[in-house]
Homo-oligomer: A and B are copies of this chain.
């Protein structure tokens, strides 16, 4: 049977769906996924030349709701201050696409979704997906939307990994990229933190080798995993400035194990709210995809001097001074490779004490440089 592309509106979440029927998505592991679907949001209008499309790749626990309220949390989109009319990523000008990655848990095919073969959730029967696989699925979505060349691909953290993968696998489909707070490979310490998070989930008896029930999820393990990760998203200084050793409502310490310090109740809250919106198995798959990411060898190979494939791309690398997950020096390793091959590279290091999460926050300089890069590159495209 021939591959069939179904484009429809989602009935659960206010977003769009593309489903590839009679199709096997071949994965990097050698496994494949049958009839996969991608849930995605678009903002703004695709122009007649189809030259104004921006793909935003989300980070570990984000989703397609980049610029409007999240239907699960009811909170504003995760980049609400960045994406919208007259905002830095201006949807009056650009057509913005943001899709939930495969393996995610906001409707794209992943461990939480139903496996058509047995009508049960995939759980651990879902095959391991990599950053390369996520990008392959995104490319199919972009093709389905009839877009030959993306004006820009933007992503931070796990999103930045996807940006690099786009450049490696589909350079001709990309005009420019904004790579924020990423690296050539996931570092030893980052793998270590992810592994502890996974162990916290898999140690929760409710996890049940991935086959948990809807009303008996490994919430405690997942909350602990989130708490660990959350510390790494901030900086020591930001934590100190925000909480110091400030106590909860009491003036004096309780001499017990309740949350005495404000930082404790903050972390507990972060853990508690996370389990309402994220799937534990998906967390395992997403962290694993990041751990496996390593383009140290492939990037220099594809970045040849005078390569027709990727010479046209304008590369923008952004890092944050207080980011200890993806520090500036790791972002610079990418720049070295690009510069050596004579590519068009821009770089900004944002001075902030807010840590890795700076990309999600209202950091004026960061917002300015993203908007400026897009604007100047869009002028070039329109002029050509």
Known: A202-B257, A257-B288. A264 touches B191 (CB 8 A): yes
22 contacts between A and B (CB under 8 A): A29-B255, A31-B255, A188-B261, A189-B239, A191-B245, A191-B261, A192-B239, A195-B264, A196-B224, A196-B228, A196-B231, A196-B267, A198-B257, A199-B224, A199-B267, A200-B200, A203-B223, A224-B224, A245-B294, A253-B292, A257-B288, A261-B291
Distance (whole angstroms) from the CB of A293 to the closest CB of chain B: 10
- For residue A221, which residues in chain B have a CB less than 8 angstroms away from its CB? 203
A128 touches B256 (CB 8 A): yes
Q: Say which size band chain A's interface belongs to.
A: 35 or more
A318 within 8 A of B: no
A128 to B263, CA, bound (A): 20
- Complex: chain B residue closest to A264, CB-CB: B195
Chain A residues touching B, majority SS: helix
Distance (whole angstroms) from the CB of A267 to the closest CB of chain B: 6
- For residue A193, which residues in chain B have a CB less than 8 angstroms away from its CB? 231
Which chain A residues in 230-263 approach chain B with CB under 8 Å? 231, 236, 239-240, 242-245, 253, 255-257, 259-261, 263
Known: A227-B195, A228-B196. A188 touches B255 (CB 8 A): no
A127 within 8 A of B: yes
Instruction: Tell me which of B28, B196, B257 contacts A284 (CB under 8 A).
Output: B257
Please report A residues at the B interface, Cβ cutoff 8 Å. 28-29, 31, 124, 127-128, 185-189, 191-193, 195-196, 198-200, 202-205, 220-221, 223-224, 227-228, 231, 236, 239-240, 242-245, 253, 255-257, 259-261, 263-264, 267-268, 271, 284, 288, 291-292, 294, 324
A220 touches B203 (CB 8 A): yes
Distance (whole angstroms) from the CB of A233 to the closest CB of chain B: 11
A127 touches B255 (CB 8 A): yes
A350 to B261, CA, bound (A): 32
A193 to B224, CA, bound (A): 11
Identify 5 new A-B residue pairs, CB closer than 8 A, beyond the known A188-B236, A192-B239. Answer: A31-B255, A128-B255, A188-B240, A191-B263, A196-B227
B253 touches A227 (CB 8 A): no
